Amino acid sequence: MSPTIGVLALQGDVREHVHALESVGARAVGVRRLGELEAVDALVIPGGESTTIDKLLRAFDLFDPLQQRLRAGMPAYGSCAGMILLADRVIGAIEGQRTLGGVDITVRRNAFGRQVDSFETDLTIDGVDDSAHTPLHAVFIRAPWVEEVGPAATVLGRVEGGPAAGRIVAVRQGPLLVTSFHPEVTGDTRVHRLFVQIVRDSL
C-alpha cells in the first residue's frame, strides 16, 4: 500500500522531500490548498523560516484545518522549521508567532546559530533502519534544538560531539516526527522511510 503524503509547498525544500518520499514507496504531492490537504494521509512540513510559514499558513487559510487534522491524529513530519511548527512551545519566537503544536517539546529557534554556523555531523537515530550499521549524516542549517521534552514525547537522537554535544535533535510523539536537521538534502532516505512506516501503521 502506497500512502499519499503531502509536502507543505509554501516554502522550503519541497521538491527534495517529494523525491525522498517517492524513493521509499510513498505517493508524494505538494499541498498549498485546503482540498489538497484533505486528500493526503499525512504531511511533511519542510524547513524554511518558521515565522514565514506560520504567516503563509494563515494567508492560505490552512492553519486551522491543518491543526485540526493533526489533533485528529494525522501523521506529520517536520524538519528544521517544521520541527518548530509542530512543537508545543518555542523559545525565541517573535511576537505573534504561533505553532501548530502536537509534540510535547520546547524548542529554541536558531539555537545552533546563524547561517554561517551551519554544520554537518553523523548521528545515531533510534528507529531508523540501521542494517548497514552506518550513522546518519545530518545537515543543520540555522537549526533549532529541543530544550525540554515532555513525558508524551520520545527522544530519538542527540548530537554526539562538538560544542553542541548532547543537544536533542530528533523526537517522536505518536504519529508525529520532528528533526532539527534536513535529511532531504543528503540522499539518505532512512528518516523518510521511518516516516512512511509511521504513516502506514496509522492507516
Residue positions annotated with a catalytic role: 80, 182, 184
Question: Nearest-CA neighbor of 198 among 41, 28, 30, 85?
Answer: 41
Partners of residue 140 on adjacent β-strands: 119
Classify strands 136-140 and 119-123 as parallel, antiparallel or unpaired: antiparallel
Contacts of 27 (CB under 8 A, 6+ apart): 2, 3, 4, 5
Cβ(89)–Cβ(61) under 8 Å? no
**Phi, psi angles (nearest 5°) of residue 77:** -125, 130
How far apart are alpha carbons 6 and 144 in whole angstroms? Answer: 23
Cβ(146)–Cβ(171) under 8 Å? yes
